[in-house]
Structure 1
């Protein structure tokens, strides 16, 4: 893997800076795991029969960012970038003809919107109703860190399988 820049979160920051710092670090980790690979490598389902690929993870995380920050936190009601054609499979993982440049552009745009949404919120205790539930911004940030961390574990395995690269 190339020397992709990742910024370590502060070890002494307050809650908001800690949560946003760890989330950004996880985003940078996914970008790092995808760096320096060919289109074919990004699309490769490296552990059959799983549909997981690095490109699929990027597309999935773009949808997760959109869903949680634009739909849940901001109440926008946006539609998926890659609409579901069948109820049993996420189209984000259908990458055989997917364009990596498009996927990374959409993901980066969603991450920027998410950061702006968090920056505009008055407090981590800000709550939003969503489908008979209520979520605080603190919960959403914590969930997003967990979501990225889990998928970055997948990315570690996929990347090692593709070219032997390892690293946290």
Structure 2
């Protein structure tokens, strides 16, 4: 069954060229979030599970699950200091988010990712870019909101490149 959503359900807005630093960071992050959404639009379950280049298990479904984990880790755990458990990964299988099984569904992964994005926006609202997170990264380091935004933009940009290749392999669709 085809997923009838298109990227129009989550429009991608070009970041402004004359905005301030905070607005620019938030706009670029939202742009990259919307890009991943576009790469998944219109595909059925089998296509969303298609691995990029076996033996790599990387798929669009896995990327969405991974980005849900990344959103949660940086915004909930590092920025807000929440005791937010991993969604998919475990201590025994840190890359479980990328490796999808027959039981893993697009509906669940997509809803979880969208919920983590919404929570991230809420947690970042009202904080200054120089504000240190209330929690620490697993490395023990602390980060300010500016660094988190920049890292998230980099993380999405890198994985959107992967998504580009996966999508092209599935149906030949290319583009930014």
Residue number in structure 2 paired with 1:75? 81
Matched, 1:52 2:58: yes
CA contact (8 A) 2:7 2:37 kept: no
Alpha carbons of 1:111 and 1:2: their partners in 2 closer, same or farther (altered >3 Å)? closer
Equivalent residue pairs, number: 166
Residue number in structure 2 paired with 1:150? 158
Worse-matched range after superposition: 92-101 or 144-153: 92-101
Aligned match of 2:130 in 107, 125, 135? 125
Deviations 1:129-166 (A, max 9, x none): 51532211000000000000000000000000000000
Q: Distance in 1 between matches of 2:116 and 2:126?
A: 15
The normalised TM-score by structure 2 is 0.89
Aligned match of 1:28 in 31, 34, 43? 34
SS at match of 2:125: helix
CA contact (8 A) 1:34 1:42 kept: yes
Gaps of 5+ in 2: none
Q: CA shift at 1:54, angstroms?
A: 0.3
The normalised TM-score by structure 1 is 0.93
Higher fraction of strand: 1
Structure 1 runs of 4+ aligned residues shifted over 3 Å read: 1-4
Gaps of 5+ in 1: none
Say what the alpha-carbon RMSD is for the aligned residues.
Answer: 1.6
Q: CA shift at 1:117, angstroms?
A: 1.1
